[in-house]
């Protein structure tokens, strides 16, 4: 199983990343500060043991809400079995819903935020009497939690992980999920937006590892046409190679292709046999975003990775 990890930029010091993960066999929520350029030695988290009745958390998703790092997870009281509950786990612990609507038995979890009062949390839900797992959206506004909907046309595998991003210009959310089980659909990664709630396949991703971790980062910009959102998505393939696919969102749609926007992406992972997270650093290259090509010209780039535990 992939080790849950969530990474965000430190709002107080953008030269650092805040790395949230589960520590060791006790699975306690931990945080480490990592310098972006690697110039500062790592101060490792020290696990002093759980308190009685601790909450066991798995997986994790992190957002910045009014400049406060907020972490979501699916949690279960220690010693209990059965469904887990989608919960806020930092800076405080609280299930996001008082009813059973936020129960899940799958690993998929993602969150995104408008940076102000609203967070959107996503998980997978299997409706009674149905085979597939639907992407389900909750709005968390700091006071209330509102179940938005289960997207019946966004059906994922039971082992699917999730990734989500908020597009400020269109005020829409985009969610990535995988489908590797249903023979009636194309195997691979899919994207869905909050406007039409329909899943669309991402070409060239059919060779993904079932249950692959997903790491997503993004950057907003605009050109003469309109504002857009560059999306960088990382996943593992069947050969345990790290793959990147890139898309550009405008309004409610994403065109997937391989910007001349200069930035650096970081992917955190655990090596085979390792116990600590290391980072893979990749500089965005000119030419990744060409003029939008035809679908058959979409590109996929592979990068070697020692293990499949990762976050972005």
The predicted pLDDT at position 36 comes to 85
Do the beta carbons of residue 175 and residue 158 sit within 8 Å? no
The predicted pLDDT at position 196 comes to 87
Kindly list the domain boundaries of the chain, sorted by start residue: 5-311
Mean pLDDT, consecutive 10-residue stretches, the chain (312 aa), reads: 76 83 72 82 67 63 85 79 81 73 84 90 84 87 71 90 95 94 78 91 90 93 91 91 89 69 73 81 66 39 46 57
The predicted pLDDT at position 257 comes to 65
Q: What are phi and psi of 305, to 5 degrees?
A: -140, 135
The predicted pLDDT at position 119 comes to 93
- Global pTM? 0.75
Q: C-alpha distances in angstroms, 43 versus 15, 22, 34, 40, 312?
A: 16, 16, 8, 9, 20
Do the beta carbons of residue 211 and residue 160 sit within 8 Å? yes
The predicted pLDDT at position 273 comes to 79
The predicted pLDDT at position 233 comes to 93
Class (C level, CATH) for 5-311: mainly beta
d(Cα 58, Cα 80) in Å, to the nearest integer?
Answer: 14
The predicted pLDDT at position 101 comes to 56
The predicted pLDDT at position 301 comes to 45
The predicted pLDDT at position 64 comes to 86
Across 8-40, b (16+ Cβ under 10 Å) vs e yields bbbeeeeebbbbbbbbeeebbbbebebebeeee
What's 101's DSSP letter? G
Residue 296's SS3 state is: helix
């Amino acid at each position: 199983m992939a080790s849950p990890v969530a990474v965000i930029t430190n709002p107080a010091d953008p030269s650092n990343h805040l790395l949230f993960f589960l520590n060791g066999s006790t699975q306690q929520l931990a945080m480490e500060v990592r310098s972006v350029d690697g110039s500062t030695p790592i101060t490792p988290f020290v696990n002093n043991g759980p308190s009685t009745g601790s909450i066991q958390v798995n997986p994790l998703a992190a957002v910045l809400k009014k400049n406060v790092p907020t972490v979501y997870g699916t949690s279960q009281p220690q010693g209990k079995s059965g469904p887990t509950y989608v919960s806020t786990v930092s800076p405080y612990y609280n299930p996001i819903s008082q009813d059973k609507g936020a129960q899940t038995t799958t690993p998929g979890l993602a969150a995104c935020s408008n940076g102000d009062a609203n967070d959107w949390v996503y998980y997978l839900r299997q409706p009674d009497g149905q085979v597939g797992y639907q992407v389900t959206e909750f709005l968390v506004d700091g006071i209330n939690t509102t179940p938005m909907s289960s997207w019946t046309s966004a059906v994922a595998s039971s082992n699917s992980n999730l990734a989500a991003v908020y597009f400020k210009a269109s005020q829409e959310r985009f969610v990535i999920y995988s489908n590797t089980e249903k023979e009636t659909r194309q195997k691979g990664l899919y994207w869905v937006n909050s406007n039409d709630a329909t899943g669309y396949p991402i070409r060239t991703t059919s060779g993904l590892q079932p249950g692959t971790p997903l790491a997503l980062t993004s950057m907003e910009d605009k050109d003469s046409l309109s504002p857009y959102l560059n999306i960088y998505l990382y996943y593992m393939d069947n050969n345990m190679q790290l793959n990147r696919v890139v898309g550009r969102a405008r309004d409610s749609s994403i065109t997937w292709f391989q910007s001349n926007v200069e930035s650096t992406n970081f992917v955190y992972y655990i090596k085979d046999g390792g116990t600590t997270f290391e980072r893979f650093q990749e500089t965005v290259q000119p030419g990744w975003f060409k003029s939008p090509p035809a679908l058959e010209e979409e590109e996929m780039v592979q990068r070697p990775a020692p293990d499949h535990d990762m976050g972005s």
